[in-house]
């Protein structure tokens, strides 16, 4: 008999916000590919302000009324933000999977500490905990007092390698295209992007190559960083934000991807760029040390790099571009097919379920 799973999350793509909770949709598709029946109790955002309040009231009401006992498995994401479930979970006899994704366990304010203290009281020894990376798994173990050996590692739905795929093998061209797919904020390392832009004329002379910097116009149109970008005599290519499932269009236009984020629980952006066979340069921190294999799918720079260290990695990748095989790495380790197989093994193992 096909196992019935109810997937719960406080975000999911909607017509108004198609990029909301796309990882939850990916998890649903991976579970269905594994042969399981999946229903959802999710928040599909319709807007901000009063609309957001109404969305949460509707979502929390569904959490209180959902027929949980009808399902073999409860698949719960972002449990920290699902307070109505705290009073229901202790009475559930079905198998429960908690999938932790990021910021919900990072915060250490008194409110989050209090919520975690309530949350931990609802856990059972038979629960399954999933982390997107070993790095974040260590945070889960510390914050929730869980044996690290009991935390399973699986990316959030994996990468659709049918969609995120290379259109050709990269060759040295007349122009070097460097892409920055993150938001233009200091947390994402935009200050390092600015330093690179300021130094591009010198790097072009060194490589004897014209360089284009590609970035996405996330957020405020009056972003101060953009104004600073354009004070430099550099080729800049600006893109309007893509829908999540269209980001491959950005990656296919670049030769090297820059990931300067200070912290990532997984780094799906990195994996999607790699799936398009684009080597990634990332800071040597958090999950990046698991994803970046120097000389194979990208290069690591120090957490606080100087501009020469960044440029040296750009030169290294450019000079050996055909030696990097990031798409192969993703297909073998992080594709949606790999994740689907993981779920199939997990949920058909009678010792677990």
Q: Is residue 167 a part of any domain in this protein?
A: no
Q: Residue 37 and residue 23: Cα distance in Å, rounded?
A: 18
**263 shares its domain with 340:** no
**pLDDT tens string 110-155:** 999 999 999 999 999 999 999 999 999 999 999 999 998 889 999 9
**301 shares its domain with 339:** no
Helix axes 307-319, 190-207, angle to 10 degrees: 50
Give the global pTM. 0.90
Return the CATH number at 12: 3.40.50.2000
Mean pLDDT of all residues in the chain?
Answer: 93
For residue 139, give its domain range: 4-158+335-348
Q: How confident is the model at residue 170 (pLDDT cuts 50, 70, 90)?
A: low
Q: Is residue 170 a part of any domain in this protein?
A: no
Q: How many domains does the chain have?
A: 2
**pLDDT tens string 228-263:** 999 999 999 999 999 989 999 999 999 999 999 998
Q: Is residue 163 a part of any domain in this protein?
A: no
What is the per-residue burial (b if ≥16 Cβ within 10 Å, else e) of 253-276? ebbbbbbbbebbbbbbbbbbbbbb
């Amino acid at each position: 008999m096909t196992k019935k799973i109810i997937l719960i999350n406080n975000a999911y793509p909607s017509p108004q916000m198609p990029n909301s909770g796309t990882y939850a949709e990916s998890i649903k598709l991976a579970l269905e590919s594994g042969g399981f029946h999946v229903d959802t109790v999710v928040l599909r955002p319709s807007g901000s302000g009063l609309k957001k309040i109404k969305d949460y009231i509707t979502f929390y009401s569904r959490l209180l009324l959902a027929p949980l006992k009808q399902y073999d498995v409860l698949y719960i994401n972002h449990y920290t933000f699902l307070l109505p479930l705290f009073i229901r979970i202790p009475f559930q006899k079905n198998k429960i999977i908690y999938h932790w994704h990021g910021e919900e366990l990072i915060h250490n304010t008194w409110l989050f500490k209090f919520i975690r203290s309530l949350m931990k009281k609802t856990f059972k020894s038979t629960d399954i905990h999933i982390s997107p990376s070993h790095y974040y798994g260590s945070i889960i173990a510390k914050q929730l007092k869980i044996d690290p050996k009991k935390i399973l590692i699986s990316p959030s739905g994996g990468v659709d390698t049918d969609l995120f795929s290379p259109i050709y093998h990269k060759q040295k061209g007349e122009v070097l295209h460097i892409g920055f797919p993150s938001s233009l904020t200091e947390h994402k390392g935009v200050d390092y992007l600015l330093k690179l832009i300021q130094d591009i004329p010198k790097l072009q002379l060194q490589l004897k190559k014209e360089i284009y910097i590609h970035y996405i116009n996330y957020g405020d149109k009056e972003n101060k960083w953009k104004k600073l970008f354009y004070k430099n005599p550099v080729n800049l290519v600006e893109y309007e934000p893509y829908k999540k499932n269209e980001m491959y269009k950005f990656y296919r236009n670049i030769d090297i991807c820059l990931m300067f984020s200070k912290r990532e629980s997984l780094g799906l952006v990195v994996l999607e760029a790699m799936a398009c066979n684009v080597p990634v340069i990332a800071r040597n921190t958090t999950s990046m040390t698991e994803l970046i294999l120097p000389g194979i799918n990208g290069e690591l720079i120090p957490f606080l790099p100087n501009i020469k260290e960044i440029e040296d990695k750009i030169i290294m990748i450019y000079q050996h571009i055909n030696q990097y095989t990031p798409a192969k790495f993703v297909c073998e380790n992080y594709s949606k097919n790999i994740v689907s197989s993981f779920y199939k093994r997990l949920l058909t193992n009678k010792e677990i379920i």
